Amino acid sequence: MTLKSMIAAAAFAALAGGAQADVKVGMITTLSGGGAGLGLDVRDGFLLALKQSGRDDIEMIIEDDQQKPDVAVQIADRMIQAEDVDVLTGIIWSNLAMAVVPGAVAQGKIYLSPNAGPSALAGKGCHPNYFNVAWQNDNLHEAAGAYANSAGYTNSFILAPNYPAGQDALTGYKRFYEGELSGEVYTKLGQTDYAAEIAQIRASGADSVFFFLPGGMGISFLKQYADSGVDIPLIGPAFSFDQGILQAVGDAALGVVNTSQWAKDLDNPANAAFVESFEAEYGRLPSLYASQGFDTGNLMISALDKAEVSDVEGFRAALKAADFASTRGDFAFGPNNHPIQDIYVREVIKEGDIYTNKTIGVAIENHADAYAAECGM
Amino acid sequence: MSSILLIEQALNGLQFGVMLFLMAAGLTLIFGVMGLINLAHGSLFMIGAFAAATVAAATGSFLLALAASLAAAAVAGVIVEVVVIRRLYDRDHLDQVLATFALILIFSEGTRWVFGSFPLFLDRPDWLSGSVMLPFGIRYSLYRLAIILVGLAVAAALFLMISRTRIGIQIRAGENDREMIGALGVNISLLYTLVFALGAALAGFAGALIGAIQSVQVGMGEPVLILAFVVIVIGGIGSIKGAFIGSILVGMTDTLGRSLLPALFGLFMDPAAATSVGASLASMSIYILMAGVLLFRPKGLFGGT
Amino acid sequence: MRRETILNFSLLGLLFLFPLWAWVADEPFLITLATRAVIFAIAGVGLNLALGFGGLVSFGHALFFGLGGYAMGILAHHAQTYVPMFTWPFVIEGTTSMPIIWLTAIAVSALVALGVGALSLRTSGVYFIMITLAFAQMFYYFAISWSAYGGEDGLSIYVRNEFPGLNTMDPIQFYAICYVILLVMLFFVFRLSRSSFGLMLGAARQNEDRVQALGQVPYRMYLTAFVISGAITGLAGALFADLNRFVSPVMFDWHTSGEIMIFVILGGVGRVLGPVAGAALFILLEHSLGGVSDYWHIYLGAILLGVVLFARGGLFGLIAGREVAHD
């Protein structure tokens, strides 16, 4: 039986050629199926960070989890048991993270999350080996609630799919939003037709609509919402307005306000360099997920520069210091190893032929998550 | 809930049902004539949408895109029929399920290989954008109205074709007695390929119509495929009439269930729990409908005896 | 010895020796992989009873696989959090004991299989395929939205459940448990297929009327086969959840039903050890193709298609000839 291990980019293998790899990094991410776009972006961002660091002692093992929890667990088992990796990263989806992370950190591995941030891992289930470099799942929704207040909305209609991340989204929005609710609707996960919900929105008399519908669901909703002619302003987290899917939504997304911890036009040198080099390397604009992959890679490298990965205490302290130039400006870890960061408000615009986001303000400054107090770390 | 909203939701249910019919009609024809379960029907839906998106991006014409969806899905259908499906007609359902399941894997990953992992853009044409005023002060999306009308027209054309034309007679004969039409000198192999291509073209057409207001992405056919199966099982497999009634029933149940059930539970539960329980039950409603129909009519509503 | 018998024993021998070798060579991951194959094999053995021997093409066996998984997840979750499952009318605590979890998984799956089977068996052919699919989908959507047990996120169990006298976290010991269960199930199915019930079931599959004329009720025989089939697949689900220390609604997904079906067909429908060969081959393919290309599903699909079209009777058909022993 051949032990397949896909060694990242060919350039890497060449770089690592002579030197004995000192650090092994296992990346479990989604590279096939409908959700592959997110995994590809995280991977490419991460690899770009590694390439720019010029280090030749990092071996990457990248595997496709097919967006299936049991496959992810299987890969994690192999990376831990057979390949003896030092650091794990890459998982996109909360349900896969919940399947892999608790076991991995219990076996002494470091896990750096480039995307998923389920509340269970931020609160009671927090762990000194687990670092979230993206956000706690509720963060962007909370920021949307805060933005709704500042925009003067007092009567929101809110909707999300009926699954834990969807329930967290509405809870997160309500945690910060101070006005009334004109309606609260849960849709079926993977639903493709939103005519019934849009009719309810039209009849509700709301002054704003908050929705969390990741991936294809968001594309469908936005197109149908624009088609319906309902003109109540929309607010959403960045996931439905990402670089990878905006082109598929087209005009229907123009002018929609969304919340994100990162934007292409954030004014800091690290970000400017990242956007330029990503485009040069891969020939496409970076997405939110690419920026998270890039930050995760740079965080890891910053810690490797300070401490040996075998020195667990030292390496963890170096990670916790978060001493790297983040593409999103200021970045620090809270007591539960989750980010404390600004969350911005963006608006979808058209630049030439390309749909993209423009930063129009800050929704919340130095925002931490609501679960840190439950973390007994 | 006001009666205007209720009528609007009923229209939405009708539109959803008509769209399902385009998928279900092909499935049920293929099963009725050739006795084949085709799980890859959803892939043909996807191919139609991708072809339409590509052509629309290149030419900017929605009508050309629709034509492309019909052509691409029909061509894909013919290729699949000649290369694979043909060998499955005299196999049992088990082999058919598995072989067409394998086709789904090939089509999905193949599409991703060609078009990449990101969704494509496809929009309704400008001349169908906006909304219209219907009687009783109902404002309704022009595009959705167009889908209803086109779908009904296709349904009518199918009925006419089956009941009035020569090929329709052959199809009906094929459903009743396969050996007999061969004996009568009909080129069965050609007839089967034609029926398969027709079913595929309808699925591709549905993919393009729906792709304009949905996400054009890999795997988009699967949810629709399962719904279409529910439809033809409720209607009775092989019956176009059954597929039509089944489509409307499923479309209405799903749409009205989603909008009415949470409100219904709200009458005796606290709002948050009612929203959640109602939504859960709504997502199961069509399967409950299907199980219920089969309990009383094990061969569906129009499935013969 | 007949070639099928030789194949049977070499398969079982391989599944005994390979993990042992992996253990000696200190390759714990290969043991985990073999465990996965064995558990899938058990699920396939369950389905094969309905599909191969009874001719019942169930496209909803993910339902029982998932039920078994959730039986494990829910019991262990309550034990882990020290919250009783029920306090009224009497207290039921969670548990981390594997035997109790297995019995629960079997009982729950059998019970649901009885209900689903009683309704579904009123139909036949394509209708049966689709109604079993519909029942599995119902549970899928229910599990996704059932937030008390994690909904779509699923439930994580941090430590594998316990079996008296063994350390289940040790891969080889957990493998031993699964292997023994597989042997027991195979023996059970083998005996069942040779019993008067099994012979009658095979006869009913081929000619219902004749069996009816013998004074038997095919419906009851199908139902019995379906219930046993569901129970075995449920047990496999409980083991699978323990292997991953995790359970999620994906276990109820219709792709899972398709995969269990693939194990049976790849190996050879109606052969006692068919699903074992099929599951082992599937794991091997998944493992080796995954390294070839990002688009490995294309190859997997092509191979499956090839088996269905040109290698009727699956692996067993290829190696041991077309003859099925019980026909």
Answer yes or no: is pLDDT of C81 > 80: no
The number of C-beta contacts closer than 8 angstroms across A and B is: 130
CB contact under 8 A, B215 and A215: yes
Using the structure block, give the residue that is written with the tokens 């009851």: C220
Provide the pLDDT for residue B284: 85
Domain extent, residue B90, equals: 3-218
CB contact under 8 A, B118 and A37: yes
CB contact under 8 A, C246 and A70: yes
Of the CA atoms within 13 Å of residue A37, those in its CB half-sphere come to 25
Q: E-strand spans in C11-156?
A: 155-156
| Cβ–Cβ contact C32 with A under 8 A | yes
Q: Is residue B54 part of a domain?
A: yes
- B contacts of A219 (beta carbons < 8 Å): 119, 214-215, 217
**Cα torsion for C9, C11, C12, C18, to the nearest 10°?**
130
In single-letter form, the type of residue at position A107 comes to: Q
| Both tokens assigned to B171 | 């199809």
Answer yes or no: is pLDDT of C292 > 80: no
pLDDT band at C322 (very low <50, low <70, confident <90, very high): low
| Cβ–Cβ contact B80 with C under 8 A | no
| Candidate from B2, B118, B259 with C-beta closest to A196 | B259
Distance separating alpha carbons of residues C154 and A98, to the nearest angstrom = 8
- Over range C6-35, report the average pLDDT: 87
Provide the pLDDT for residue A9: 39
Using the structure block, give the residue that is written with the tokens 């967290």: A168
Q: Is residue B267 part of a domain?
A: no
| Cβ–Cβ contact B259 with A under 8 A | yes
| Both tokens assigned to B121 | 């853009």
Print burial letters for A197-211: b (CB count within 10 Å at least 16), e (below 16). bbbbbbbbebbbbbb
Provide the pLDDT for residue B154: 92
Q: How is residue A236 annotated by DSSP?
A: E
Provide the pLDDT for residue C9: 86
Q: How is residue C148 annotated by DSSP?
A: G
CB contact under 8 A, B275 and A186: yes
| Candidate from C27, C158, C290 with C-beta closest to A82 | C27
Q: Is residue B110 part of a domain?
A: yes
For residue A20, the tally of other CB atoms under 10 A from its CB is 8
Distance separating alpha carbons of residues B301 and C179, to the nearest angstrom = 47
Asked if residue C230 lies in contact with residue C222, where contact means CB atoms within 8 angstroms, the answer is no
Provide the pLDDT for residue C1: 59
Distance separating alpha carbons of residues C32 and C24, to the nearest angstrom = 14
Q: Is residue B253 part of a domain?
A: no
| Candidate from A32, A40, A185 with C-beta closest to B109 | A32
**Cα torsion for A20, A26, A31, A35, to the nearest 10°?**
-150
| Residue A23 bridge partners (DSSP) | A58
Provide the pLDDT for residue A21: 56
- In chain C, the residue whose alpha carbon lies closest to the alpha carbon of B87 is C309
**Cα torsion for B258, B264, B270, B276, to the nearest 10°?**
-20
Q: Is residue B232 part of a domain?
A: no
Tell the CATH superfamily of the A10-135+267-333 domain: Response regulator (3.40.50.2300)
Helices (runs of H) and strands (runs of E) counted in chain A: 13, 13
**Cα torsion for C101, C105, C107, C110, to the nearest 10°?**
-170
CB contact under 8 A, B106 and C301: yes
CB contact under 8 A, B15 and A195: yes
Closest C-alpha among A138, A163, A172 to residue C151 = A163
For residue C193, the tally of other CB atoms under 10 A from its CB is 21
In single-letter form, the type of residue at position A289 comes to: Y
| Residue A208 bridge partners (DSSP) | A156
Asked if residue A371 lies in contact with residue A336, where contact means CB atoms within 8 angstroms, the answer is yes
Asked if residue B268 lies in contact with residue B278, where contact means CB atoms within 8 angstroms, the answer is no
CB contact under 8 A, B2 and A203: yes
| Alpha carbon of C189: minimum distance to chain A alpha carbons (Å) | 28
Provide the pLDDT for residue B95: 86
Provide the pLDDT for residue C323: 52
Q: Is residue B300 part of a domain?
A: no
Q: Which helix (H) or strand (E) holds C247?
A: strand C246-247
Answer yes or no: is pLDDT of C152 > 90: no
- C contacts of A2 (beta carbons < 8 Å): 288, 291
At A57 the three-state DSSP class reads coil
At C195 the three-state DSSP class reads coil
Asked if residue B124 lies in contact with residue B214, where contact means CB atoms within 8 angstroms, the answer is no
Q: Which helix (H) or strand (E) holds A20?
A: none
- In chain B, the residue whose alpha carbon lies closest to the alpha carbon of A248 is B121
| Alpha carbon of C139: minimum distance to chain A alpha carbons (Å) | 14
Print burial letters for B38-72: b (CB count within 10 Å at least 16), e (below 16). bbbbbbbbbbbbbbbbbbbeeeeebeebbbbbbeb
Provide the pLDDT for residue A10: 38
- B contacts of C300 (beta carbons < 8 Å): 102, 105
CATH 3.40.50.300 given to domain A139-260+342-374: no
Distance separating alpha carbons of residues C148 and C74, to the nearest angstrom = 10
Domain count, chain B: 1
| Alpha carbon of B152: minimum distance to chain A alpha carbons (Å) | 19
| Cβ–Cβ contact C145 with B under 8 A | yes
Residues 6+ apart with CB under 8 A from C279: C37, C38, C40, C41, C43, C44, C263, C267
Distance separating alpha carbons of residues C253 and A129, to the nearest angstrom = 32
Using the structure block, give the residue that is written with the tokens 């981390």: C96
| Candidate from C129, C131, C301 with C-beta closest to B97 | C129
| Alpha carbon of C205: minimum distance to chain B alpha carbons (Å) | 13
Angle at A261 between CA A255 and CA A262, to 5 degrees: 75
The DSSP-derived string for C93-122 is ----BHHHHHHHHHHHHHHHHHHHHHHHTT
Asked if residue C84 lies in contact with residue C92, where contact means CB atoms within 8 angstroms, the answer is yes
**Which one of A75, A163, A212 makes the best mutation probe of the C interface by having the most chain C beta carbons within 10 Å?**
A163
| Cβ–Cβ contact B292 with C under 8 A | no
Q: Which helix (H) or strand (E) holds B287?
A: helix B271-296
Question: Cis bond leading into C89, ω under 30°?
Answer: yes
Q: Interface partners of B (3+ CB pairs, < 8 Å)?
A: A, C
CB contact under 8 A, A196 and B118: no
Which stretches of chain A drop beneath a pLDDT of 70? 1-21, 33-34
What domains are defined for chain C?
3-320 (1.10.3470)
Q: Is residue B224 part of a domain?
A: no
Q: How is residue A8 annotated by DSSP?
A: S
Asked if residue A4 lies in contact with residue C294, where contact means CB atoms within 8 angstroms, the answer is no
Residues 6+ apart with CB under 8 A from C35: C19, C171, C174, C175, C178, C243
H-assigned helices in chain C: 3-24, 28-48, 62-81, 98-120, 125-145, 171-194, 196-206, 208-213, 218-244, 254-267, 274-289, 296-310, 314-320
Distance separating alpha carbons of residues A85 and A221, to the nearest angstrom = 41
- B contacts of A40 (beta carbons < 8 Å): 117
- C contacts of A167 (beta carbons < 8 Å): 147, 151
Asked if residue C243 lies in contact with residue C33, where contact means CB atoms within 8 angstroms, the answer is no
Asked if residue B108 lies in contact with residue C300, where contact means CB atoms within 8 angstroms, the answer is no
Examine domains A10-135+267-333 and A139-260+342-374 and report if their fold is the same: yes
pLDDT truncated to tens, each residue of chain B (305 aa)? 577 788 888 888 999 999 999 999 999 888 888 888 898 999 999 999 999 999 998 998 999 999 999 999 999 999 999 999 988 888 888 888 889 989 998 998 898 888 877 788 888 888 888 778 777 777 888 889 999 999 999 999 998 988 888 888 887 777 777 677 777 777 888 888 999 999 999 999 999 998 888 888 888 888 888 889 889 889 988 888 899 999 999 999 998 888 888 878 877 777 777 777 787 888 888 888 988 888 888 888 887 64
Using the structure block, give the residue that is written with the tokens 């009612």: B274
Of the CA atoms within 13 Å of residue C168, those in its CB half-sphere come to 18
- In chain C, the residue whose alpha carbon lies closest to the alpha carbon of B281 is C142
| Candidate from B104, B276, B298 with C-beta closest to C123 | B298
| Candidate from A215, A227, A248 with C-beta closest to B129 | A227
Compute the Cα dihedral for B177, B179, B183, B189 and give only its sign: positive
pLDDT above 70: percentage of residues in chain C: 95
